[in-house]
Structure 1
Amino acid sequence: MDKIVFKCKRIAKLIIMKKPSKISDEDKKRFRDAVGNVKPIKNDNIISERPQSSIYQKKHKANYLDPGYEINENLATEKLVGGEEEIKFCSAGENDKKFKRLRQGKYKFEGKLDLHGMLVEEAKQQLAIFLKECKIRSLSCVLIIHGKGYGSKNNAPVIKNKLNQWLRNNSMVWGFCSARPSDGGTGAIYVYLKSN
């Protein structure tokens, strides 16, 4: 799949995905025949723990771009959620048909933002830049990866809870919900943006 990548301060990336080309059934069959039976390679060199986030935090202190889009933190939000809990919000109400399709992962996301390991202020800035770029490109559905908070102090999902608050209070956002397991599960959200 071709991708257009928009880099934000070398930390986060906005990935705009072009529609994949149609692959014929004949080409798919040729590929399966060429690959044959595949066995996974055993790899004992897997590191199961993430490095402490304090090292990352020291390397990536402030120096932000002014995104032009203020993220409102003054309004109240829902209770704090854990890393494995789902989050959801819909300005039209949760029984809306479009929102049900969003929760089922029926919309293809057109952009992606990864906020893993960022400080709250970094994530806030990158989100504002990302939303501004989405509006310029008239994107409808995007994926934001926030993680489950396992690398943060007390294993609390700080960015996840902040996103839950910021996006509820953002006039560009129509709705959002935790992603399907194949797209990150409770460590990511689908965001449906209002049309221009």
Structure 2
Amino acid sequence: MADEDELFAEAMGRVRPLAASNKIDSESLKKRKKEQLSRRVRVGTIEPPQRAFSPEVTDGPWQLIADGVSRERVRRLGAGRPPVGPTFDLHGMRRDEALELLVEGFNAALLDGQRALRIIHGRGLHSQGKAILKEAVYHWLREGAFAHAVLAAIPEPGSGGGACLVLLRRQGT
């Protein structure tokens, strides 16, 4: 044991605190990520088609399936086909912040040609009354600015209802 303690003390003896200019706090990290995302989004903007597409709600409030999307297609989405691309973790965000992140993220995902993504909205266990983020996310998927791009949204298997998988329409079709 003494050998391990000595080795640890020797290794740690060379460690020095970071200078204040090298530290990254959570706020500056969020700001940096947002700037990177906004730079990426500026490459182009996805324009919705002339006639907005709104998926129909089926099988309860936590599943959206557009007309013409087969049950087999929804089953494959739950099984990870197509592979899930970006994940948006909305934990700890206010509703407006979360929806703003989704707008930016969906724009980037569509520009990158992504077909499936994950949204972690939580189950609403810390909300007073209803699950605020979960309801806001599903409402936004059904009626928001990118509803035209949503083919299906289902609870992610194994998430306990705290995340959903979203199948996106191919762009140009």
Please classify the TM superposition score into its range, dividing by the shorter chain length. Answer: 0.5 to 0.7
Does residue 160 in structure 1 map to residue 134 in structure 2?
yes
Q: Decide which of 176, 179, 184 is 2:153's aligned counterpart.
A: 176
Summarize deviations over 1:116-156 as a string: whole Å, max 9, x none: 111111011000000001011110011110001122223x2
Return the TM-score normalized by structure 2. Answer: 0.60
Q: In structure 2, the residue corresponding to 1:174 is in which secondary structure?
A: strand
The one-letter code sitting in structure 2 at the alignment partner of 1:179 is E
Give distance in 2, aligned partners of 1:108 and 1:101: 10
Summarize deviations over 1:145-180 as a string: whole Å, max 9, x none: 0001122223x2111111111111211111110001
1:97 CA displacement: 2.1
Does residue 108 in structure 1 map to residue 83 in structure 2?
yes
1:11 CA displacement: 7.5
- Bigger Rg over Cα: 2
Percent identity reads: 25
Other-structure match for 1:150: 125
CA contact (8 A) 1:94 1:100 kept: no
Q: In structure 1, the residue corresponding to 2:161 is in which secondary structure?
A: helix
Q: Root-mean-square deviation (CA), in Å?
A: 3.4
Give distance in 1, aligned partners of 2:114 and 2:140: 19
Does residue 89 in structure 1 map to residue 64 in structure 2?
yes
For residues 69-84 of structure 1, what are the structure 2 equivalents within 5 Å? Answer: none
Gaps of 5+ in 2: 1-28, 48-53
The one-letter code sitting in structure 1 at the alignment partner of 2:148 is S
Report the structure, 1 or 2, having the larger strand content. 1
Give distance in 1, aligned partners of 2:87 and 2:105: 9
Give distance in 1, aligned partners of 2:70 and 2:94: 34
Report the structure, 1 or 2, having the larger helix content. 2
Give distance in 2, aligned partners of 1:93 and 1:178: 19
Q: Which moved more, 1:104-113 or 1:122-131?
A: 104-113
Gaps of 5+ in 1: 1-6, 15-64, 79-84
1:185 CA displacement: 3.4
Count residues with an aligned counterpart: 125
